[in-house]
Chain A
């Protein structure tokens, strides 16, 4: 019998969430931007640390899920943990997007780029 070689991570998802399988009041949309409020510290769960690192800049929940390669549900649970301790703040997407409005030439450029895709 050919021996399987495991390449993934050995930790199962229920150990990541501590057995929880569902987020309580889901305040996190898929595109909610998350911003970290503090630096990752040593004693934290590694997923929490990575979320905090990712969210130094506002990052959407789906992006976090993609980056961590974890299901959205798990990410939501993790984010709720962080939110409960005040380490992250969810932010509406429009707030981040309205930082600088690009000029028309740039938007045209975007349009061209999109058509070229």
Chain B
């Protein structure tokens, strides 16, 4: 039990001496104590006491010796253990250093090599192997794992790149498909190309799925395009038949209105009105379906007729007031379009105004064309409605898909406006309703009757036109003649040399008038007329047929041989008198002219037409409507109308003898 007490002081360095002094002191003290006990003991017990003390001391000494020896042994073992500890610590330090080296130098190098793609064995060979086998094993495992991971990372990166490439390619494909291919395909399909041709010519996407999708979409698109086109064509075709029927009905009705008397006239007018409305509806549909208008005019139409023709096609035509004082005419090719457009707009105006209010149509000429204003006093259109209407009439919404329900009229207006370059705009009307302003550009305007003195320009052509309608070559020259010189041609016959048919008439009438000059002149004139007849072979041969006989006792001065004035149909006797006198005066002047210039170098035909020209230019100065010269065909047509009119009016009366 003392051992722990003994071992404690051994820890310090200088306790070794005290380790031996303490037992010696203890033994000395014990010896002193024994001696003292022996001395102090009674004498008779001194022997025993001394013996006991000596025996105790010896035992103590033995115990102390044993303890000391054991303590020394323990001390040596402690020192040994401390040495062992130091050694182990050093070893641990070196091992830690190596570990650090492995972690900080070797492993990064290995990792770098592995990342560079060096094989694991090569990496191990290039690296300085660690001292310890365990570390070598660790390194080997690390290198293997690293190489494995590196390989896997490379593979993953490659896969990622290829996936990104795929995505980019596909998005390119899709973009191209949407941006270029499909629009061009749609264009081609709308242009009438067949599906297979379009599919063969188009740029295919690379992705198979996208290819399938594209093909399916294109085929479906082509099918629906074809379906729409077929539907449109079929309805346009069907509508064209209805159009033709309604046009012929209108013509028949006009005929009946001429033939029948007052008792059925009102009914005929009612049917006429219905048929006209029917025509407007059919035309509207036909235009939307890509068809054509039912009518086409081959001559300029004066604005008044345009307006009437437009208003006559709507239901509420009696509510429309026309204010038209201009005498401009619309060129023939655009006349039907303008009429249809105005009909739609007036119909709209009449439908959207109270049934008791009037719709006013004003026409004014301006420098930029002709302005037609249609004003109603109905509800003022809202801003949005105005905008929608403006959009509709702007002609930008040409697709049938954009049609709003049954409101087709404005879409038709838009198409017509774009087709003929007209400008249609909406504005609030001063009357409280809405005003539509239509601007006809100057190229649609045919300047016609210049002077008031030629009033018969257009209406008379309506009488003369049927005779000319059979030819194909006539309309074009007629139009140019009408636009520039038609009024003049009617007022002064000899000037209208642009119109082949008229030349023949004029020459004939001139020739008839000049018969008195002698057969020679007549032959020349007739020859010239034949010459001009070759220019319009279909027209001129009819001229002599319709011409009243030039003989029969009349001379060329519009009077009989006995001086009786020749009165033409439609002319009063007084007018015929005045005409005769004027013509005689003109003839005298004419003869003076020809005698004054006998040496004119012109050949005979020029001579024949020359006097006619001078007469023509001299004549019209005093042109009064009553003195108008009329072509033979005019006379014939007038007489026919006269005949019909009188017979229709009074059928019981015996008809006047025709010829």
Contact = CB atoms under 8 A, between A and B. Distances in A.
A26 to B, nearest CB: 8
Interface in A93-117: 96, 99, 105-106, 109-110, 112-113, 116-117
A38 interface: no
Interface string A58-73: 1100110111110111
Interface stretch (B55-63, B216-224, B256-264, B591-599): B256-264
Contacts of A46: 302, 304, 458-459
A54 interface: yes
B421 to A, nearest CB: 21
B562 A109 contact: yes
B265 A22 contact: yes
B134 to A, nearest CB: 105
Interface in B131-173: none
Interface size class of A (residues with CB under 8 A): 35 or more
Contacts of B587: none
Given A21-B266, A45-B304, A63-B570, A71 B296 contact: no
**List of 7 A-B pairs having minimum Cβ-Cβ separation, nearest first:** A21-B266, A10-B309, A11-B308, A66-B642, A15-B308, A66-B641, A12-B312
A50 B455 contact: yes
Interface of A: 1, 3-19, 21-23, 30, 40, 42-43, 45-46, 49-50, 53-54, 56-59, 62-63, 65-69, 71-73, 96, 99, 105-106, 109-110, 112-113, 116-117
Interface residues of B, number: 77
A22 B463 contact: no
Interface stretch (B115-123, B522-530, B644-652): B644-652
A53 B625 contact: yes
A42 B365 CA distance: 14
A68 B644 CA distance: 13
Contacts of B294: 4
A96 B577 CA distance: 14
Interface stretch (B31-39, B70-78, B101-109, B269-277): B269-277
A96 B573 CA distance: 10
Given A21-B266, A22-B265, A113-B560, A7 B308 contact: no
Contact of A57 (B258, B456, B574): B574
B305 A11 contact: yes
Given A5-B298, A10-B308, A53 B262 contact: no
Tell me what chain B mostly uses at the interface: helix, strand, loop, or mixed: helix
B465 interface: yes
A6 B295 contact: yes
B296 A99 contact: no
B626 interface: yes
A112 B560 CA distance: 11
A14 B273 contact: yes
A17 B646 CA distance: 20
Interface in B278-321: 292, 294-299, 301-302, 304-306, 308-309, 311-312, 317-318
Contact of A1 (B240, B312, B458): B240
Nearest to A17: B269
Contacts of B455: 40, 49-50, 53
Interface in B439-481: 455-456, 458-459, 462-463, 465-466, 468-469, 475
A49 to B, nearest CB: 6
Given A5-B469, A7-B466, A11-B308, 15 more contacts: A1-B240, A4-B296, A9-B309, A11-B304, A18-B318, A23-B262, A50-B455, A58-B574, A65-B642, A66-B639, A71-B645, A72-B262, A96-B572, A105-B562, A113-B553
